[in-house]
Structure 1
Amino acid sequence: MTLAFWCVLVAIILPYLATAIAKFSGRDYGPHANQNPRAFLAGLEGRRQRAHHAQLNGFEVTPAFAAAVIIAHLAGGASQALMDALAVGFIITRVLYLACYLADWGPVRSLVWFLGMGLIVALFVVSA
């Protein structure tokens, strides 16, 4: 398996890090919260709410990244090293995105998001 494919796995797992921060960084998570987790998450505030929002964004962007990696491999127009570098770059942006979201750095978070989306587009462009 290529490094880019491993990055897809990492991208799939990363939103669950945000989930863990949202749920478990407070004292109010327990069996009652698991009875209706969506209501529990909707009631969060501050850093935990931002972690939940980062989780949602991670679930939204991961399919596009996975498709870009798979299509880049199938198209075969780019070197494996370049595809791996773009995929690793995307993972770095996702980690930075989560950090920016938790720190409440909205403008920086948006910039990091655009960089990540640019890397997804780049996977398509370099393989064309």
Structure 2
Amino acid sequence: MTLANWCIAAACILPMAVALTPKVASVKSRDRYDNAAPREWAGRQDGWAKRAIAAHQNGFEALPLFIAAVILAQQAHANQDRIDILAMTFVLIRVIYSIIYISNLATLRTVVWFAGIGVSLAILAQA
């Protein structure tokens, strides 16, 4: 399995890890995470927890383009080292994006979001 394929796995796991942060933090709050009604619980969140949930959702929204780009570039027999580097860059950008989103740095978040999309398009351009 290529490094880029491992990056796909990491990019798929990352949104779930981001969503876990407010759930774990809620253990010490009055409004503990409710596994029986997770969407209702998420709807009651505010501040950083609400932004973490939004970052989690955005993480899944970014996946289709990235996954398709990696697969298509590999099927086209593009330079695997270049695909691997770009895929690692994408995962790093998504980690940074999540931190920035939770930190409420809206303008910087948008810049980083565009960087992630740009990397996915760069991978796709390899095909």
TM bin, normalised by shorter chain, reads over 0.9
Structure 2: 5+ residue runs without aligned partners? none
Tell me, yes or no, if structure 1 residue 45 matches structure 2 residue 46. Answer: yes
Structure 1: 5+ residue runs without aligned partners? none
Deviations 1:36-63 (A, max 9, x none): 1001101100000000000000111112
Matches within 5 A, 1:6-85: 6-26=6-26, 27=29, 28-30=31-33, 33-76=34-77, 78-85=78-85
Q: For 1:79, give the aligned amino acid.
A: N
Structure 1 partner of 2:93? 93
CA contact (8 A) 1:93 1:115 kept: yes
Task: Provide the C-alpha distance between the structure 1 equivalents of 2:126 and 2:82, rounded to a whole number of angstroms.
Answer: 8
CA-atom RMSD in angstroms: 1.0
Identity of aligned pairs, percent? 39
Tell me, yes or no, if structure 1 residue 111 matches structure 2 residue 73. Answer: no
Cα shift at 1:15: 0.3
Deviations 1:75-121 (A, max 9, x none): 11x21110001000000110000010111100111100000000110
